[in-house]
């Protein structure tokens, strides 16, 4: 959950998405500014933190980069429980990864924190020639589901920091004066049948 | 070092042993000392380690201790005969040997004896002896060209398994690891391939004399040593272990457990990787091997001892932590720098009080239904969501 001190917010953020969509690469790019072809694979999830300054506050992201085959998804609740934000990643060259991303969105909507800020990232935007998922399709889906959408490239760094900054801007600063700086709040129905029952 | 020769695992192994015999004492340069710089060096198993001067000194001490321990084992072989640890013809002597052996093993099996001692004490030798000699050869050649979801995942993971290691990250290393993992995926189709096993198998390859022995160690580990279903469909065995561990932590380290709970920090966030990779990704190699020494002799509860010890060793610092990041940092800083295995194992086996194996088995039985219900519930919830989708 986003917890705010004076103007310092700690925000738990989780990355979800199919294997090899580039979750770890996005995190590495954001946290260390690097891109590495063969990173040691992660088991369960890896933790990172990175601070960004937005407007009048600093947001310290506590990032969980989840990993693993389908069977590892049984561990996911432990990582998204109490998260203030999520980045759901797909690979623009892989239609199946987009379908999987939608399932993650559903799971988060049903189980996650109802105030969670969700971003949909279409990664590997540098591989335009191999594109399988149209940007418009993803944009429409994101709009309908109250997410914001960006195409990113961990390889070229395009839009990577922007996704995190945009999330930081959208985080509700819970105990603070409501919306002092014209902050955009996520547009999502507050009232869902399963919305109140948090994860077990 | 490793893999310098191209004539298969045997030569690699011989070289490794030779290499160990000639390990030079590392002498950090005077500049490194003055500047308190980090230095890079290769450890006993060919991993590149980054550490400061103190770490290097610790590692030198560990090497000395390993040599001493080697002498102890050597003297035992002289007085009791080779393979004395297998002796079970006389109940009395085997009982005495059992006590001696347990103590000895907790102090560490010398690296050059590891392959034989592990192979016999774990039950791998027995397992291998129940099938024809050609089993491994036949298995690997029969499945070599097959493509399955498991083999695809394995191929994806090969270059991501300890990248940069001087032997594992070579075509020869990748090929050996692939044969072991692919072979096993066909031996047990419920497990198939589960990520994490790549790290475990990789270390087994570095220790065992042959690739085939590494395969049998992996088999005995999954089929006999660890709890069932750690690596199958939804990792249910691993979920069970996490719950058992949480209860143990509450009993053995109540202050830490309460503090972390108040912070909303789920210890599974750090323990999952430990239990699935058997510490191979988190600890320096010789420290991991020391844990495996005990694991193969005493069983899976050893993983709990070690996890408890890591928390216990950091009690005061953990109690001062107030953010998830602080907890993770404390834990990772400790585990990555645990170059002295005894520092960890002394706490794990002497400072935590008794942990009775039968109690742990009971706890596992008790947690199983709850885990199954929880996993089931998640699946049903997700299915119903997807159902809504179609309407
Ligand atoms: N061309 C391209 N490749 C990428 C990009 N991001 C990741 N990759 C590659 O995709 C593969 C999977 O990336 P990884 O970060 O490990 O994915 P994860 O499994 O989701 O964590 C790696 O080979 C990366 O080098 C990108 O933006 N562009
Ligand atoms: Mg990853």
CATH code of the domain containing A139: 3.40.50.300
Residue B85 distance to chain A (closest CA, Å): 36
Q: What is the pLDDT of residue B350?
A: 92
- Of chain A, the end-to-end C-alpha distance in Å amounts to 16
In this structure, what CATH number is given to the domain that contains residue B324? 1.10.472.80
* For the ranges A53-57, B26-30, B149-153, the one whose mean pLDDT is highest: B149-153
Whether A37 lines ligand 1, by a CB cut-off of 6 Å, is yes
Could you tell me if residue A190 is inside a domain? Answer: no
Q: What is the pLDDT of residue B331?
A: 97
CB atoms within 10 A of CB B332: 13
Looking at the predicted structure, is the pLDDT value of residue B233 above 80? yes
Residues B215 and B310 in one domain: no
Residues B141 and B86 in one domain: no
Taking the complete model, does pTM exceed 0.80, yes or no?
yes
The angle formed by the CA atoms of residues B100, B101 and B106, to the nearest 5 degrees, is 105
Sequence-distant (6+) residues with CB within 8 A of B180 are: B201, B204, B205, B211, B214, B215, B218
Residues B246 and B366 in one domain: yes
Domain count, chain B: 3
How far is residue B180's CA from residue B182's CA, in Å, rounded to a whole number? 6
How far is residue B111's CA from residue B105's CA, in Å, rounded to a whole number? 12
Residues B275 and B366 in one domain: yes
The angle formed by the CA atoms of residues B132, B289 and B207, to the nearest 5 degrees, is 40
CB burial of B34-54 (b: ≥16 within 10 Å; e: otherwise) equals eeeeebeebbbbbbebebbbe
Whether A59 lines ligand 1, by a CB cut-off of 6 Å, is no
How far is residue B205's CA from residue B232's CA, in Å, rounded to a whole number? 22
Mean pLDDT value of segment B122-126: 94
Could you tell me if residue A194 is inside a domain? Answer: no
How far is residue B121's CA from residue B109's CA, in Å, rounded to a whole number? 12
- Answer yes or no: are the C-beta atoms of A84 and A11 closer than 8 Å: yes
Could you tell me if residue B57 is inside a domain? Answer: yes
Whether A131 lines ligand 1, by a CB cut-off of 6 Å, is no
What would the pLDDT profile of B66-96 be if each residue is shown by its tens digit?
999 999 988 888 888 777 777 554 444 566 6
Per-chain mean pLDDT for chain B:
87
Sequence-distant (6+) residues with CB within 8 A of A196 are: A114
Could you tell me if residue A164 is inside a domain? Answer: yes
Q: Hey, which bits of chain A come out as E strands?
A: 3-4, 8-17, 45-54, 57-66, 85-91, 117-123, 148-151
Choose among B377, B384, B332: nearest CA to B239.
B377
Could you tell me if residue B390 is inside a domain? Answer: no
- Answer yes or no: are the C-beta atoms of B202 and B47 closer than 8 Å: no
Q: Which segments in chain A show pLDDT lower than 50?
A: 174-200
Pairing mode, strands A8-17 and A85-91: parallel
Could you tell me if residue B180 is inside a domain? Answer: yes
Chain B contact present for A114, CB below 8 A: no
B177, B382, B388: best to mutate for the A interface, most A CBs within 10 A: B382
Choose among A52, A43, A57, A50: nearest CA to A8.
A57
Contact A74 B239 (CB under 8 A): yes
How far is residue B181's CA from residue A182's CA, in Å, rounded to a whole number? 55
Residue that is written with structure tokens 């070690």 in the block? B306
Of residues A164 and B20, the one with the higher pLDDT is A164
Residue B265 distance to chain A (closest CA, Å): 10
Mean pLDDT value of segment B11-37: 51
Could you tell me if residue A67 is inside a domain? Answer: yes
How far is residue A117's CA from residue A168's CA, in Å, rounded to a whole number? 9
Band of pLDDT at residue B239, cut at 50, 70 and 90: very high
How far is residue B277's CA from residue B88's CA, in Å, rounded to a whole number? 32
ipTM (interface predicted TM): 0.83
For residue A115, what are the CA distances in angstroms to A59, A188, B86, B256?
Answer: 16, 9, 61, 30
Q: What is the pLDDT of residue A2?
A: 57
Residue B195 distance to chain A (closest CA, Å): 7
User: Alpha helix (H) ranges present in chain B?
Assistant: 9-21, 30-35, 53-80, 91-107, 114-121, 124-129, 135-143, 149-157, 171-187, 197-207, 211-220, 236-252, 254-262, 268-277, 285-298, 301-313, 315-320, 324-336, 341-350, 357-390
Per-window interface: A 69-98 vs B, CB < 8 A: 69, 71-72, 74-75, 77-79, 81-82
Band of pLDDT at residue B25, cut at 50, 70 and 90: low
How far is residue A174's CA from residue A188's CA, in Å, rounded to a whole number? 17
Structure tokens at B29: 């340069």
Could you tell me if residue A25 is inside a domain? Answer: yes
User: Of B79, B109, B139, which residue constitutes the final position of a domain?
Assistant: B109
Residues B146 and B268 in one domain: no
Whether A21 lines ligand 1, by a CB cut-off of 6 Å, is yes
Chain B contact present for A31, CB below 8 A: no
Mean pLDDT value of segment B120-143: 96
Q: What is the pLDDT of residue B32?
A: 55
Could you tell me if residue A175 is inside a domain? Answer: no
Could you tell me if residue A177 is inside a domain? Answer: no
Could you tell me if residue A156 is inside a domain? Answer: yes
What would the pLDDT profile of B341-359 be if each residue is shown by its tens digit?
999 999 999 988 877 777 8
Q: What is the pLDDT of residue A33?
A: 94
Q: What is the pLDDT of residue B391?
A: 38
Q: What is the pLDDT of residue B16?
A: 42
In this structure, what CATH number is given to the domain that contains residue B221? 1.10.8.270
CB atoms within 10 A of CB A119: 23
Could you tell me if residue B216 is inside a domain? Answer: yes
Domain count, chain A: 1
Chain B residues inside the 8 Å CB shell of A40: 160-163, 281
Residue B323 distance to chain A (closest CA, Å): 9
Q: What is the pLDDT of residue B9?
A: 43
Whether A20 lines ligand 1, by a CB cut-off of 6 Å, is yes
Residues B365 and B290 in one domain: yes
Q: What is the pLDDT of residue B8?
A: 41
Residues B272 and B315 in one domain: yes
User: Of B188, B204, B225, which residue constitutes the final position of a domain?
Assistant: B225
Residues B31 and B146 in one domain: no
Structure tokens at A143: 């709009």
How far is ligand 1, taken at its centre, from the CA of residue B62, in Å? 39
- Answer yes or no: are the C-beta atoms of A101 and A18 closer than 8 Å: yes
Of B153, B162, B276, the CB nearest to A40: B162
Residue of B nearest to A67 (CA): B195
Binning chain A into helix, strand and coil, the percentages to the nearest 5 are 30, 25, 45
Domain range enclosing B64: 20-109
Band of pLDDT at residue B60, cut at 50, 70 and 90: confident
- Answer yes or no: are the C-beta atoms of B183 and B215 closer than 8 Å: yes
How far is residue A171's CA from residue A59's CA, in Å, rounded to a whole number? 9
């Amino acid at each position: 959950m986003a917890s705010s001190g004076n103007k310092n917010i700690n925000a738990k953020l989780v990355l979800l998405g199919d294997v090899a969509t580039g979750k770890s690469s996005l995190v590495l790019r954001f946290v260390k500014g690097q891109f590495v072809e063969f990173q040691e694979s992660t088991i369960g999830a890896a933790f990172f933190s990175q601070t960004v300054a937005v407007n009048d506050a600093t947001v310290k992201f506590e990032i969980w980069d989840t990993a693993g085959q389908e069977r590892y998804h049984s561990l996911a609740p432990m990582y998204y429980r109490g998260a203030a934000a999520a980045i759901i990643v797909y690979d623009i060259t892989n239609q199946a990864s987009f379908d999987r991303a939608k399932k993650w969105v559903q799971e988060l909507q049903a189980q996650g924190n109802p105030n969670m800020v969700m971003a949909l990232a279409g990664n590997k935007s540098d591989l335009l020639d191999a594109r399988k998922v149209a940007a418009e399709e993803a944009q429409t889906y994101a709009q309908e589901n109250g997410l914001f959408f960006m195409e990113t490239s961990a390889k070229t760094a395009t839009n990577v920091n922007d996704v995190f900054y945009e999330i930081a801007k959208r985080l509700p600063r819970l105990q603070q004066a409501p919306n002092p700086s014209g902050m955009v709040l996520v547009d999502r129905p507050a009232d869902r049948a399963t919305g109140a029952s948090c994860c077990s | 070092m490793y893999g310098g020769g191209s004539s298969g695992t045997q030569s690699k192994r011989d070289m490794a042993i030779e290499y160990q015999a000639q390990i030079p004492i590392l002498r950090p340069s005077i500049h490194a000392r003055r500047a308190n710089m980090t230095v890079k060096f290769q450890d006993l198993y060919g991993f590149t380690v980054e550490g400061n001067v103190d770490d290097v000194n610790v590692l030198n001490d560990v090497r000395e201790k390993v040599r001493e321990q080697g002498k102890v084992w050597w003297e035992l072989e002289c007085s009791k005969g080779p393979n004395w640890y297998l002796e079970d013809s006389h109940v009395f002597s085997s009982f005495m040997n059992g006590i001696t052996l347990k103590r000895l093993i907790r102090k560490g099996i010398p690296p050059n004896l590891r392959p034989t001692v592990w192979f016999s004490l774990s039950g791998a030798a027995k397992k291998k002896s129940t099938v024809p000699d050609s089993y491994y050869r036949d298995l690997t050649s029969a499945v070599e060209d097959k493509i399955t979801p498991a083999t695809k995942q394995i191929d994806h993971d090969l270059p991501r398994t300890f990248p940069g290691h001087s032997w594992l990250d070579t075509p020869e290393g990748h090929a050996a690891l692939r044969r072991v993992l692919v072979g096993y995926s066909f031996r047990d189709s419920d497990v198939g391939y589960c990520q994490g096993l790549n790290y475990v198998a990789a270390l087994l390859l570095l220790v065992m004399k042959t690739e085939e022995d590494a395969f049998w160690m992996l088999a005995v580990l999954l089929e006999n040593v660890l709890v069932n279903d750690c690596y199958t469909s939804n990792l249910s065995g691993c979920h069970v272990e996490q719950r058992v561990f949480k209860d143990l932590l509450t009993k053995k380290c109540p202050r830490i457990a309460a503090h972390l709970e108040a912070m909303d920090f789920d210890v599974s966030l750090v323990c999952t990787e430990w239990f699935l990779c058997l510490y191979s990704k988190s600890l320096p190699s010789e420290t991991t091997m020391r844990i495996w020494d005990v694991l193969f002799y005493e069983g899976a509860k050893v993983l709990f001892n070690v996890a408890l010890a890591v928390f216990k060793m950091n009690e005061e610092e953990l109690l001062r932590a107030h953010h998830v990041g602080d907890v993770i940092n404390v834990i990772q800083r400790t585990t990555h720098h645990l170059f002295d295995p005894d520092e960890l194992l002394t706490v794990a086996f002497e400072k935590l009080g008794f942990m009775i194996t039968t109690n742990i088995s009971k706890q596992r039985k008790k947690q199983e239904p709850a885990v199954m219900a929880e996993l089931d519930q998640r699946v049903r919830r997700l299915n119903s969501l997807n159902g809504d989708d179609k309407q």
